[in-house]
């Protein structure tokens, strides 16, 4: 299996703060890869570095073999990367339909992918004319993910999808993400270790902006000491 995304020791600064001090990872095509680490370890910054919102100063970001470091976010996204930021950043003033339409890169993207999207998230079809600000937290999260599915993306970067959701919604969300992975590759940042461990095939552990450890998820689940040490949870 080939790697669709590779980070080679990237260094990212926010202002003069050195946030990422050498993060490396690779994401195998078709897999779900979890990026784990405690709060403030640099997980979100890593995703933003990939999509170009926080361009790394050093290192290489390879997507589909090409170095994309330093390119503008819109340029990177257009290569086929979908970004689902934390805190369900849907456009509240736009309707559900507009939130999906705005992600179109070709005129008929939504028409083509509508079946897939509304099959995964039937609620969205019901509320298509409602403004996104009126949706519940869970529905907004669904919409944020659905938005990333409108164009045919080869890689999805999903940041903390379970944050602030009720347990029953988390179950539903996990189902959706699992069925998603049949269509695309996913790099998932998740605090909820139980969720991440059930979804992901591989994991990368970062701490203090540095890559610490990686491997198959099933090995990490049995390594209680590492989980305790880096994630503070069991």
Partner 1 sequence: MTWLNKNRNPLITALIILIALVLAFSGKSPQTTSSIILSGVTLAALYFLVASGVSLIFGLMDVLNFAHGSLFMFGAYAGWTFYTNPRLLFNTAPILLAVLAGLALSPILARFVALPRWARWLAVLFGIAMAIFALRDFPIDKLVAMGMSMTGKIIPTAEAQEPIATMLLRIGGMFIAGAVASAATATRSAERLEAPMSRTLGIVGGLVALALITLFVRDLGEQAILGTESNWRFLLALGVGAGTGAALGALMEWGLIRPLYARPIYQILLTLGLTFVFDQVVRFVWGPAGAFMEIPQWFNTSSQDCPSDNLLLWFSQHCDSIFVMGRPFPSYRLFIILVGAIMVLGIALLLQRTRFGMIIRAGVQDSEMVEALGINVRRVFTLVFAIGAGLAGLGGVVAAPFLGVYPGMAMEFLLQAFIVVVIGGLGSIPGAVVGALLVGLARAYGDHIVLAGIQLPWMTDAISGSPAIARASTVLIMAIVLFLKPTGIFGKKE
Residues interacting with partner 1, by CB under 8 A? 51-53, 70-74, 77-78, 83, 85, 89, 91-94, 98, 101-103, 105, 147, 151
Judged by beta carbon, residue 77 or residue 227, the one nearer partner 1 is 77
Q: What's the rounded Cα separation, in Å, for the pair 220 and 212?
A: 13
Judged by beta carbon, residue 42 or residue 82, the one nearer partner 1 is 82
Min dist. Cβ of residue 169 to partner 1 (A):
22
Structure tokens at 156: 């999805």
* Separation in Å, CA 191 to CA 13, 159, 178: 23, 9, 17
Judged by beta carbon, residue 78 or residue 233, the one nearer partner 1 is 78
Min dist. Cβ of residue 75 to partner 1 (A):
8
Judged by beta carbon, residue 5 or residue 103, the one nearer partner 1 is 103
Q: Which residue has the tokens 């600064």?
A: 13
Report yes or no: 1 and 188 within 8 Å, Cβ to Cβ: no
> 93: how many CB neighbours lie within 10 A of its CB?
10
Give the 3-state secondary structure of residue 104. coil
Min dist. Cβ of residue 143 to partner 1 (A):
12
Judged by beta carbon, residue 104 or residue 201, the one nearer partner 1 is 104
The DSSP secondary-structure symbol of 95 reads B
Min dist. Cβ of residue 186 to partner 1 (A):
16
Q: Is 75 exposed, middle or buried (0-12, 13-18, 19+ CB in 10 A)?
A: exposed
Q: Is 149 exposed, middle or buried (0-12, 13-18, 19+ CB in 10 A)?
A: buried
Min dist. Cβ of residue 5 to partner 1 (A):
16
Report angle CA 95, 101, 106 to the nearest 5 degrees: 175
Min dist. Cβ of residue 73 to partner 1 (A):
5
Judged by beta carbon, residue 104 or residue 207, the one nearer partner 1 is 104
The DSSP secondary-structure symbol of 56 reads -
């Amino acid at each position: 299996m080939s790697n669709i995304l590779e980070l080679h020791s990237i260094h990212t600064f926010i202002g003069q703060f050195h946030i990422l001090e050498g993060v490396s990872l690779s994401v195998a095509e078709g897999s779900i890869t979890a990026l784990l680490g405690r709060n403030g370890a640099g997980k979100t910054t890593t995703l933003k570095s990939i999509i170009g919102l926080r361009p790394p100063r050093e290192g290489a970001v390879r997507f589909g073999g090409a170095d994309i470091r330093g390119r503008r976010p819109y340029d990177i996204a257009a290569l086929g990367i979908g970004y689902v930021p934390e805190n369900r950043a849907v456009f509240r003033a736009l309707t559900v339909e507009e939130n999906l339409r705005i992600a179109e890169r070709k005129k008929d993207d939504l028409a083509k992918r509508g079946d897939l999207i509304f099959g995964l998230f039937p609620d969205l079809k019901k509320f298509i004319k409602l403004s996104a600000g009126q949706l519940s937290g869970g529905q907004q999260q669904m919409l944020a993910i659905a938005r990333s599915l409108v164009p045919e993306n080869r890689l999805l970067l999903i940041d903390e999808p379970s944050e602030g959701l009720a347990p029953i919604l988390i179950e539903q969300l996990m189902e959706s993400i699992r069925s998603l992975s049949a269509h695309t590759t996913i790099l998932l940042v998740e605090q909820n270790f139980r969720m991440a461990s059930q979804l992901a095939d591989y994991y990368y552990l970062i701490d203090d902006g540095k890559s610490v450890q990686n491997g198959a998820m099933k090995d990490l689940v049995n390594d209680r000491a590492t989980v305790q040490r880096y994630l503070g949870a069991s």
